Amino acid sequence: KIIRAFAPATVANVSCGFDVLGFAVDQPGDEVEIALNASAEVVIKSIVGDKGRLPLQADKNTAGVAVMSLLNALGLKQGVEITLYKNLPLGSGMGSSAASAVAALIGINYLLGEPFQKKDLLPFAMEAERVACGAAHADNVAPSLLGGVVLVRGYDPLDVVDIPLSGQLYCTLAHPNIELKTEDSRQVLRQNIPLKDAITQWGNIAGLVAGLMKPDYDLIGRSLKDVVAEPIRSLLIPGFNEIKDAAVKEGALGCGISGSGPTLFALSKNYSTADRVGRAMQLQFLKHKLNSEFYVSEV
């Protein structure tokens, strides 16, 4: 039996929630075709859409690592064959490595008769993130797996909380045709945060969560700020400030870096604003000699 599984792109950090907050979009996402076989090996049969850039070795590919880590936990030597349909651009900040891992986990868990509940698949997906970028962060894998807005309240032990949204919210993702490796954009971050910045950041993250739950759109807008990662990472994104200003001027509640970038996200109250915001962001990217595509999705 071959089954096909999908996992969506995600926006990690959501400005003020570095490594602790993320949400899923409807599309785009990665897909896998996955089947069990009589061998004892996990094999990536082929990858479609990566232009030959991702490793086919299962222990280096996030889909393979996630599946191997799940099988290890069960003490199973099971043959598995995976075809990965890589729809998400690499190094985009849209949770591309996470989506491949999550799609593969949904698939293998189903084929094995669902030995794990969805939430319990998280550690295996985090293992894949560790291989992809050196850090087992969960703010992409958790929303990709569980959907919606997800808070990683703690890592040790892992404590993942879904944040129920009231009210409609639309996300624009504008993806320029440059790449940033998460590993590199983590390395530029400072390791210590002045108390003043920490106070600003935790005020904003609490404000954002409250704003999403109430809903209070002004509060969401006021809280979409990042004084920890954005000041440094934005230097790697040509035209960042102009693009952000253009998004807000067009009616977005706020705008920031999606995950580790270079994709930018903006949140809007309705679809038509989110669509206009996408066009405005695209235009600004173009002014900085970058082609981009944008996606609009309900959060």
263 is catalytic: no
**Residue closer to ligand HSE (CB basis): 182 or 273:** 182
Q: Which residue is nearest to ligand HSE (CB)?
A: 259
**Residue closer to ligand HSE (CB basis): 80 or 101:** 101
Rounded to whole angstroms, the Cα distance separating 288 from 100 reads 31
Interface residue with ligand HSE, options 31, 33, 50, 139 (CB under 6 A): 139
Rounded to whole angstroms, the Cα distance separating 176 from 169 reads 23
**Residue closer to ligand HSE (CB basis): 93 or 239:** 93
CB of 51 to ligand HSE, least distance (A): 21
Residue 171, amino acid: C
User: Hey, is 299 helix, strand or coil?
Assistant: coil
Rounded to whole angstroms, the Cα distance separating 160 from 223 reads 21
Are 6 and 29 within 8 A, CB to CB? Answer: yes
Site string for ligand HSE, 209-228 (x = CB under 6 A): --------------------
**Residue closer to ligand HSE (CB basis): 16 or 80:** 16
Residue 152, amino acid: V
Q: What is the DSSP letter of 119?
A: G
Site string for ligand HSE, 243-272 (x = CB under 6 A): ----------------xx------------
Are 259 and 11 within 8 A, CB to CB? Answer: yes
Interface residue with ligand HSE, options 12, 58, 125, 208 (CB under 6 A): 12
62 is catalytic: no
93 binds ligand HSE (CB under 6 A): yes
From its phi and psi, is residue 79 left (phi > 0), alpha (psi between -120 and 50) or beta? beta
The most distant pair of C-alpha atoms in the chain lies apart, rounded to whole Å, by: 58
Query: Interface residues with ligand HSE (CB under 6 A)?
Result: 12-13, 18-19, 93, 95, 137, 139-140, 182, 186, 259-260
Task: List residues with catalytic annotation.
Answer: 129, 182
